[in-house]
């Protein structure tokens, strides 16, 4: 399942509601605790029963190494991971392929991502590259995963 939405749209809350149907959940977090208030808010909102693993870069390896251990893996969020990969000047296309391959091997997954195609675009070359790459990744995920939801104002709309 892919869960798309804007900043503070309710993506994580929707993911928590969906995950209630699973007994053994891993939340794979890609955000480093740079913004402490946002980070703390997310930590406090996660169910205490979930296992949490923080991995900002080595996502494919992390997904594969935990594939059989959990009923559901919640990936929060693919856009933050992508920005980390870009910032480290890694081979972005190779890393995207590896993550998509790893996701296909999971029995149940919920991938959270930001939808950036609804607002104004920056004039920055780096920002435009990021928006284009994330939109491409989102489209690949929407095609690959069995369902997709768009969350706006806390309401989830099924788009696939």
**What is residue 86's predicted lDDT score, i.e. its pLDDT?**
93
pLDDT one-digit tens code per residue, 29-43: 997 656 666 655 666
Q: Tell me the mean pLDDT in the region 63-80.
A: 95
How many angstroms separate the CA atoms of 68 and 76, rounded?
A: 19
Domains and CATH numbers, the chain: 2-158 (3.40.50.300)
For residue 59 the two structure tokens come to 């996502």
How many angstroms separate the CA atoms of 71 and 87, rounded?
A: 32
Parallel, antiparallel, or unpaired: how do β-strands 25-29 and 148-152 relate? Answer: unpaired
């Amino acid at each position: 399942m892919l869960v798309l939405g804007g900043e503070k749209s309710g993506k994580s809350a929707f993911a928590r509601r969906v995950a209630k149907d699973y007994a053994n959940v891993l939340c794979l977090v890609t955000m480093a605790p740079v913004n402490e208030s946002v980070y703390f808010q997310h930590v406090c909102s996660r169910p205490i029963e979930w296992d949490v693993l923080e991995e900002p870069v080595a996502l494919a390896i992390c997904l594969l190494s935990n594939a059989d251990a959990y009923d559901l893996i919640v990936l929060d969020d693919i856009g933050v991971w992508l920005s980390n990969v870009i910032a480290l000047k890694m081979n972005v296309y190779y890393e995207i392929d590896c993550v998509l391959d790893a996701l296909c091997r999971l029995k149940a997954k919920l991938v959270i991502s930001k939808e950036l195609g609804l607002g104004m675009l920056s004039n920055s070359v780096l920002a435009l590259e990021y928006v284009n790459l994330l939109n491409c990744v989102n489209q690949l995920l929407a095609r690959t995963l069995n369902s997709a939801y768009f969350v706006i104002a806390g309401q989830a709309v099924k788009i696939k």
